[in-house]
Amino acid sequence: MDNATTEKVSCLIIGSGPAGYTAAIYAARANLKPLLYQGIQPGGQLTITTDVENYPGYPDGIKGPEMMVDFEKQAARMGTEIRFGVATKVDFTGPLHKVWFDDDKIIESPAIIIATGASAKWLGLESEQRLNGFGVSACAVCDGFFFRGKEVAIVGAGDTAAEEALYLSKLCTTVHMIVRRDEMRASKIMQDRVFKTPNIKIYWNTVTEEVIGENKTEAIRVKNVKTGESQRIAVDGFFVAIGHEPNSSIFKGWLDMDDAGYLITTPGSSKTSIPGVFAAGDVQDKTYRQAVTAAGSGCMAAIDAERYLGEKELA
């Protein structure tokens, strides 16, 4: 780090999902000459999504990776400089904020937009990763439509799992809900709704051992941890709803965040607890977590950054 080179830019964007690229498009059009670092997963979570059918403007749907290539091209055409690199350290003592990339490059900027996203938590099964996008998903709202009239399974026991199970129950014939303990963590009202839904079948004290299928999900094998008994459940879709983890660890100690690590922004804005630092997308949104809401918050962050720089005459 002692040999790191330093560069100053007007606006730095960290992350390259819908939030990061939309922020870049707006910042570039405002002549902020933004520099965007793509991070460890260029394109964000959508690059591991197959079909996207709920983003406006794509009447026939689009593959997630293709959509993010479109976003990147548009940001570049507007004048964004796009680089590959991972943020490893920050210093927000400001007013000129510093971010280290790959430990050997320091970018200084008065306006930083954090769009590092969140990562879905997975069970850690080889079969789960192999069939991700082929019947395995971490987002029922995104992918539930593809399983209309079919049987699916969902693993999880919190409010998100309950909410997604209820969402799937309106589309699917049967929702097999896999719960690791003998109780759910979800709020009482959410549990009551699940219990009252006839086509949600709950498997208590049960863990998933394997997702079965070659090129698509065909079934899951689960085991009751009390009896040791395994069984195969035929399903077309398998949803993992055990939570998301915001990619915010390098900002700990600098920015206000909640107990789960989501960055806290001033309601109705993208402003964080430090002036000149803004947050957009899933790193600060644990409620909606959709591409379209992430893009919208990226727009907000760029406008907030432009106004901040104008007020401070820093651009």
Q: Position of tokens 């209820």?
A: 166
Active-site residue among 70, 139, 159, 299?
139
Residue in the structure block whose two tokens are 């964004």: 80
Query: Using CA atoms, how far apart are residues 295 and 137, in angstroms rounded to an integer?
Result: 21
Q: Which of 2, 102, 104, 142 is catalytic?
A: 142
Distance (Å, whole) CA 185 – CA 188: 9
Closest CA to 122 of 137, 109, 110: 137
Catalytic option among 143, 282, 285, 304: 143
What are the tokens at 125? 């099964």
Buried-exposed string 121-160: b where 16+ CB fall within 10 A, e elsewhere: eebebebbeebbbbbbbbbbebbbebbeeebbbbbbbbbb
> Cis link prior to 42 (omega < 30° from 0)?
no
Residues pairing with 82 in the sheet: 36
Cα separation, 256 vs 44, whole angstroms:
23
Q: Does 91 participate in catalysis according to the annotation?
A: no
Q: Report the alpha-carbon angle 200-230-182, nearest 5.
A: 50
Active site residues: 139, 142-143
